[in-house]
Each structure stands twice: as C-alpha cells, then as structure tokens.
C-alpha cells in the first residue's frame, strides 16, 4: 500500500467507466484509477479498466455478494465512507455515467453527510454509447429535435406510474429506455395507448459498444414479441423513434469483418497488445492467452563476456524484439550503452526487431527480406562473410538454423542466451470455457513456441479436442509445421510473416475467401 498520512481524510472519485468498450473511459478517469488505493467496481464496468490500477490497489467487486444477491446500496455507501475515512484515495467505478440511473447521486449524498471530499468524473452513458455503436444518431434534423432518457425499471403494478406517458408518446422525440427489457410489453403498450404510431421503429441494443453487441430491430407494434421469441436478455437499451431507421445506412461497428468472431491470441504477455488491437480493430473479440513467459537467463556469463569486447565481432544479429530488449537491458546494467555497438554491423530480422533497435538509436545494416531463420542465412550468403565473427544473442530454446547455417558459410558465431522462454502455469479458466462454449472461432499462432507451449500447457490430445472446429492461423511455414506436427490442421497462413498480414489473412478466411 502507498503510505497514507494518519488522521488525513481520504478522497473519493466517482467515475463513469463508459458503456463497455474500455477505450471509452475518459483520460481523467484513467488517471484517477491509476492513483487509487481502493477501487470499488460494478458489474457493468469493463474489467479491463482495472488494468490501469496500481499493483497494490485493493480491488472490491461491489456488484454481487456471494454471487447471488445485489450488495445493498447502503452497504456500498458505508464501504465508500469507511475506506475514505481510513485515509484512502477511493475510486468508485460505475458503468456508463455515475449520474445517469447509476445511484451515483445517493452515493454522493452519503459522502457529503460524512464530510468526505469527492469529485465526479462523467462517463459515456449507455444511452449515448450503445446507439452510437449501433449506427443510430439520437437526434437528426430531419426526424427529431429531442431525446428523453427514461427508466424502464418502474414497477408496472396498480400504483400510478411516475412516467408521463402522454408527453413521451406525443410528438417525434427519440426515447431511450434503460433497464427496460423485462418491461418491454408494458412500455410499448403504454406508448401505443397514448398515441405513438405502431410503425415507429425500435432498436434493442444489448451489451452495446462491446464485441458481443447484439441489436434487434422492429416496430412499436412487434418489438416486444420479437424480443420474447429471440429470448433477448438484459443489459440492453431500447431506442424508440424514426432515427432507428438510419442504422441501415450508418451501421459501422457490428458489420466489421471479424465482428462476432472470437480469436485466441497466443503471445508473450508484453507483445500481445499490438496484435490484439489489430484484431479488435476489425471487430474481433480477442481472448489473450499468454503461452510464453519471457524472463532473464539463469546466467549472464556468456553474454557479459561478449558485451565486454564487442569489437571482436563483425556482426550482431537480432532475430526478435525480445532479443533486442534483453540485450540492451543487460548492456545498460553493465553501464554500457549503444556506443558499445559501434564496431559491429547489425542485422535485424523483421521490421519489429528493426523498430526495437531504432529506439536505441541503432539503424540495422541488414534486414533480410525473409523473416525466418533461413532468411538470415540466405541474406548472409549473398555477402562475403567467410572468417567473419558474429554475435547472436538468442532465446534459450532457439532453433539451431542460424548458428549452423552461418557456420557453414565460414562464419564464427557466438550465441549466448539473452532471455528465456518458459511456460506459464496452465491456461486461464475463462479461455477453456470460451473454447468449450464455442465462443472462440480462430486460434492465431505467431511462433512455433506459442503452439508448442500451448500443447505442453493443456496436453496434446486435449488441445486437438479443444481446437476442433476452430480455424487455426499460423504466422508462417515454420509455425505451421509445428502445428501439423502436433496434429493440428492449419487454415490460414499469410505470405508475409507479420501480424498485419496474419490479420488480413484471418479476415479473408472469415469473409469466405474474398479479399479483406
């Protein structure tokens, strides 16, 4: 825990987490999460947002107690007050906007009563976010001049409704109902009874802005029936008004090429981000599964010796981002820097490796056209390298192609271990569940070790079974071969061995072979 000054009252940030897409959190909300000692979060707040929290922040799920009942509002208020009085910076993370049907007002009143200072950080409310991602503008000059946000959670018993149905039903104003799915038959009946036209278009948006977004459209006359037949479930927002028809023209999110497809990404944890972003940018729901954990080698002895006299080498060969990262980390801890590389020419395999080098001010002299180990040997065979010395900082379990191939060209290669590839402990439970539940449609492998490790983590037979009916995408022929050796069929392999090309090829696969 961060040091807290005794006798100091804490502070509460009431933050809107946005409707689902984690990118819809505000910059200010993100900054507050990062400095929180305690975070109380809701069922509707995207769990990914907790990734911005500091390592030792206390995370409290305020949604349910014992998995069944809602935590009472007074219990949440009490916990907020208690944690703040103990001197903590507390974040209360609520779905959408805290002041729109979120009981944020009540939580705030409790803070005022206890004399605790607070700030409200607004969020994108579901009533704004979900229609935007469904391609429905809430207002449009040609159709409507007003919008109303209405609760659909009223009790529709005998007592008089607090909703002015007559005013809502008159005119052409767009209506946005929160929490209205269970009461949809009563809501539509009330609007019809008070004069809204039966042909008024209606859209139900479930899990809006998330990769699992579902939209059901109909009219005031038939939507309740359609929702019942489709067993349409909460959480969903109901949009009523002529603007709903614009979706046909303005739809952009749920018609992207990989929308509705679950893709398993198997990468070293610190590299998964970029590939995941590419996939989710195309609409995929990404399941990240670390199959490699990259760590420092047990001993740095060989690497240190080489680094102590880099002038002995004519060439330095980097075949991965991690090789660059761990090489320079060690170089710096020996109190050396990029200038130590001055006597050597540098070979980088793949544009990502070259980019990693450029961060340290190094421009690669040689970037083989083909990113495989064989490509490195081919590139060197075009040069006059007999008798030259090369340093090749490598992973502990690297293939021997480069050392052997360059040796055959007459080069003298030293290949100290710069980093280790090891196995994480097992497969996350939610991934097994998603595989078994058919929610993963593609598994993407970006190196032989990712697929080999996955097999080692779950067992070969189990893996074959789990990936039955799942399209398998491999970044290149070496990875494909590893897949086949494990008894897996390969469905997708790009001609260029980059994550960009792999993404394009996955899109092509799911668009029925048409160019992405």
The token pair that represents 407 in the structure block: 């040796």
The answer to whether 64 is a known catalytic residue is yes
Question: Binding of ligand SAH at residue 234 (CB under 6 A)?
Answer: yes
To the nearest 10°, report the CA torsion of 235, 237, 238, 241. Answer: -170
Q: Give the x-and-dash track for 100-119 against ligand SAH (CB under 6 A).
A: xxx-----------------
Per-position DSSP letters for 182-208, written without gaps between them: TTHHHHHHHHHHTT--TT-EEEEEEST
Catalytic residue among 94, 179, 261, 411: 179
Q: Which of 38, 44, 191, 492 binds ligand SAH (CB under 6 A)?
A: 44
3-state secondary structure 327-366: HHHHHHHCCCCHHHHCCCEEEECCHHHHHHHHHCCCCCCE
Question: Binding of ligand SAH at residue 315 (CB under 6 A)?
Answer: no
The answer to whether 261 is a known catalytic residue is no
Size of the site for ligand SAH (CB under 6 A): 24
Residue (77 or 453) nearer to ligand SAH, CB:
77
CB of 15 to ligand SAH, least distance (A): 11
Eight-class DSSP state of 390 = E
Q: Which of 14, 236, 292, 442 binds ligand SAH (CB under 6 A)?
A: 236
CA angle 143, 146, 150 (to 5 degrees): 120
The answer to whether 142 is a known catalytic residue is no
Q: Which of 22, 131, 208, 283 binds ligand SAH (CB under 6 A)?
A: 208
CB of 299 to ligand SAH, least distance (A): 51
Q: Which stretch binds ligand SAH (CB under 6 A): 47-55, 230-238, 355-363, 450-458?
A: 230-238
Residues 403-432 that bind ligand SAH (CB under 6 A): none
Beta pairing, strands 69-70 & 64-65: antiparallel
CB of 434 to ligand SAH, least distance (A): 19
Q: How far is CA 27 from CA 15, 16, 30, 49, 491, in A?
A: 11, 11, 5, 12, 40
Cβ partners under 8 Å of residue 99, min gap 6: 105, 120, 122
* Helices then strands, each counted (H, E), the chain: 19, 22
Q: Which of 14, 49, 50, 130 binds ligand SAH (CB under 6 A)?
A: 130
Question: Binding of ligand SAH at residue 13 (CB under 6 A)?
Answer: no
The token pair that represents 7 in the structure block: 């006798």
Residue nearest to ligand SAH (CB): 96
Residue (12 or 442) nearer to ligand SAH, CB:
12
Peptide bond into 206 cis (omega under 30): no
The token pair that represents 484 in the structure block: 């086949």
Question: Binding of ligand SAH at residue 63 (CB under 6 A)?
Answer: no
Q: Which stretch binds ligand SAH (CB under 6 A): 96-104, 330-338, 390-398, 462-470?
A: 96-104
Alpha helices in 383-436 (DSSP H): 401-408, 429-436
Residue (126 or 463) nearer to ligand SAH, CB:
126
Residue (191 or 236) nearer to ligand SAH, CB:
236
CA angle 448, 450, 451 (to 5 degrees): 70
- Cβ atoms of residues 383 and 372 within 8 Å: no
- Give the span between the Cα atoms of 379 and 401, in whole angstroms: 13
Catalytic positions, written as ranges: 42, 64, 179
Residues near ligand SAH (CB under 6 A): 19-20, 44, 94-97, 100-102, 125-126, 130, 178-179, 205-209, 234-237
């Amino acid at each position: 825990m961060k040091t807290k000054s005794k006798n100091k009252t804490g502070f509460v940030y009431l933050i809107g987490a946005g409707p689902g897409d984690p990118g819809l959190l505000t910059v200010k909300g993100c900054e507050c999460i990062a400095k929180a000692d305690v975070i109380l979060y809701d069922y509707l707040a995207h769990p990914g947002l907790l990734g911005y929290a500091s390592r030792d922040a206390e995370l409290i799920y305020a949604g349910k107690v014992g998995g069944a009942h809602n935590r009472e509002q007074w219990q949440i208020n009490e916990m907020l007050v208690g944690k703040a009085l103990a001197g903590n910076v507390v974040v209360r993370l609520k779905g959408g906007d805290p002041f729109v049907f979120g009981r944020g007002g009540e939580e705030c009143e409790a803070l005022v009563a206890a004399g605790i200072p607070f700030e409200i950080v607004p969020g994108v409310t579901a009533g704004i976010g979900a229609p935007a991602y469904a391609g429905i503008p809430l207002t449009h000059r040609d159709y409507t001049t007003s919008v109303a946000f209405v609760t659909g959670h009223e009790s529709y018993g005998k007592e008089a409704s607090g909703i002015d149905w007559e005013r809502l039903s008159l005119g052409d104003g767009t209506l946005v109902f929160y929490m209205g799915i269970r009461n949809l038959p009563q809501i539509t009946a009330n609007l019809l009874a008070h004069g809204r036209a039966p042909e008024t278009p209606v859209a139900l948006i479930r899990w809006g802005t998330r990769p699992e977004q579902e939209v059901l459209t109909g009219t005031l006359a038939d939507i309740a029936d359609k929702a019942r037949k489709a067993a349409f479930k909460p959480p969903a927002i109901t949009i009523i008004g002529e603007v709903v028809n614009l979706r046909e023209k303005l739809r952009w999110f749920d018609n992207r090429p990989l929308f509705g497809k679950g893709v398993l990404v198997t990468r070293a944890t610190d590299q998964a981000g970029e590939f995941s972003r590419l996939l989710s940018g195309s609409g995929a729901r990404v399941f990240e599964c670390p199959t490699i954990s990259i760590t420092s080698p047990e001993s740095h002895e060989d690497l240190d010796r080489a680094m102590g006299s880099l002038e002995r080498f004519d060439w330095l060969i980097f075949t991965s981002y991690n090789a660059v990262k761990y090489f320079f980390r060690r170089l710096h801890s020996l109190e050396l820097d990029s200038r130590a590389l001055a006597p050597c020419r540098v070979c980088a395999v793949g544009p990502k490796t070259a980019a990693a080098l450029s961060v340290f001010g190094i421009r690669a002299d040689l970037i083989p056209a083909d990113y495989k180990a064989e490509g490195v040997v081919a590139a060197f065979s075009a040069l006059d390298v007999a008798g030259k010395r090369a340093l090749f900082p490598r992973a502990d379990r690297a293939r021997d192609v480069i050392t052997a191939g360059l040796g055959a060209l007459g080069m003298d290669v030293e290949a100290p271990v710069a980093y280790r590839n090891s196995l994480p402990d097992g497969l996350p439970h939610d991934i097994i569940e998603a595989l078994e539940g058919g929610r993963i449609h593609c598994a993407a492998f970006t190196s032989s070790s990712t697929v080999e490790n996955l097999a080692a983590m779950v067992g070969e037979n189990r893996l074959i079974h789990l990936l039955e009916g799942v399209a398998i995408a491999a970044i290149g022929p070496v990875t494909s071969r590893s897949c086949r050796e494990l008894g897996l069929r390969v469905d997708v392999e790009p001609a260029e061995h980059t994550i960009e090309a792999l993404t394009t090829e996955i899109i092509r696969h799911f668009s029925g072979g048409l160019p992405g």
